[in-house]
Amino acid sequence: MATKVLEECSISPAGPPITSPPSPPSSTALPLTFLDIPWLFFPPSRPLFFYNFPHPLTHFTSTLVPKLKLSLSLALRHFYPFAAALLLPPIPPSKPHIVAGPHDSVEFTVAESDSDFDQLSGLYSQIDAAELRALAPPLLPRAARANMVPLMAVRVTVFPNSGFCLGLALNHVVADARTFNNFMKLWSTFCVDHHHDRSSLPCYDRTVIVDTRGLEGVFLNEWWKRRTLSSSPSRVLDNGACDDELVRTSFVLGFGEMDKIKSRIRVLNLEQQPKHSQLLDLISPYVVTCAFLWVCVLKTQERVGQDSALHHNDEDPNYFGFIAGGLTRFEHPVPVTYLGNCVGFGRAKASRGELLGEYGLVVAARAIKRTVIRLDEGFLGEADRWISEWAELIGSDIHVMACGSPKVDFYGRDFGWGKPKKIEEIEIDSTKAISLSESRDVKGGIEIGLVLPKLQMDAFTLLFKEGLMACY
């Protein structure tokens, strides 16, 4: 892929405000809450939004780019922390915090690519993961101050006469997927008509995140301990080291397919536990999808003889991690427009042998459902172990984790040229997670993004199809 950079600039939160957002008149410190701190261990989120745009390069640079710049500037007036920086303190026990000021900006790059837009934005076909990584901007420390980490960057790549890719990098400490979607909603609305719905403006009240269990100290201690032991200053500086031989594929599970998997789980559950089968009477499409993927990934490891898998026996524990929404689970009410993180972590556990056995699908569904129930009953009940438990999952070749949420409607983000043709999450190249999102075209469906070495991807694709056939 040949890519040429056409422009590099910075976009500031400027332009006449339609309302009076709480933009900082001078340097302002925005503290991290205890729900932000765990995200210091994750590389940035790097989503790609592909849009059809069958126009020549000149039309792109003269029409689309100016609109994206102006609307981004207007949106940043309301979401000013996105243009700010994360200050990493030099010595413990100081806490990292967001520093916002009147001179903040977001790096904005415009590029041109000669790659095949339709291939890169297509479903089901295998794509060289390195090609897609090149479309996402890096998040690097600012040269003047190495301890100041930018929180967002934007890269727009045009494929003349075909389409364009809106690539972003966003540090997780500033926003969860819900907050990021609220930002994208405002940006896209400004791009269309420069008006917005006041109900979507962010809430900055940090006091709504109440730390009743002293978790901030627990998480900060973990961060300082791991930061001291690491050769890298912090995971937040890591843009994601990954294997250049990776390929990426997307799958979709429709409502009908998920219903078939659910029926199969119920039948197997009755066979295995006829007297104690009530747990799986009601299971969500999310649990069904995660259980199915967990088993498929483990079977893939076994089929290709993955070295790391061969050193584990049937009694060894295997984990499935996922992001758990906190708005409906948190102990105190949190506005849907709150700017920051309000999510937690779930980690289901089962033995490897059971997951690979005849009733593996039931074992997986049961483990995930029980984890969801624990989170529903006590969202922060096991939160003191979030960081230590998830350290085993990030980048693991054995355990499985999912990121994203099918409840967030990223496919609704229309900048004036229709909804996205495809959305990809580049972060999973390094975390080795499975991305889950709403389906663009299948109502009630879940889109699955996966990155694996080619041999494993071929095996997974076959097992995915075989697994579906076994449910019919």
List pLDDT tens digits, range 148-163.
899 999 999 999 999 9
Among this protein's residues, is 311 annotated catalytic?
no
Residue 445 has pLDDT above 60, yes or no: yes
Q: Where does the pLDDT of residue 91 fall: very low under 50, low under 70, confident under 90, or very high at 90 and above? A: confident
The answer to whether 125 and 115 have CB atoms below 8 angstroms apart is no
Give the pLDDT mean for 69-91: 92
Pick left, alpha or beta for residue 429 (phi over 0 → left; psi -120 to 50 → alpha; otherwise beta).
Answer: alpha
Residue 203 has pLDDT above 70, yes or no: yes
* Cβ atoms within 10 Å, residue 24: 17
Residue 233 has pLDDT above 50, yes or no: no
Ranges of beta strands (E only) in 218-353 are 246-253, 317-325, 343-351
CA-closest candidate to residue 25, choices 34, 16, 13, 33: 13
Q: Is the C-alpha dihedral spanning 264, 268, 274, 278 positive or negative?
A: negative
The answer to whether 72 and 11 have CB atoms below 8 angstroms apart is yes
Active-site residue among 116, 238, 414, 458? 414
Peptide bond into 333 cis (omega under 30): no
Among this protein's residues, is 172 annotated catalytic?
yes
State the pLDDT at residue 237: 37
6-37: pLDDT as tens digits: 999 999 997 544 444 455 545 678 899 999 99
State the pLDDT at residue 238: 46
Q: Output Rg (C-alpha) for the chain, integer angstroms.
A: 22
- The domains of the chain, with CATH numbers, are 3-237 (3.30.559.10), 246-470 (3.30.559.10)
Residue 124 has pLDDT above 90, yes or no: no
Active-site residue among 172, 176, 196, 399? 172
Name the one residue in this structure whose structure tokens are 């893939």: 300
315-353: pLDDT as tens digits: 889 999 999 999 999 989 999 999 999 999 999 999 999
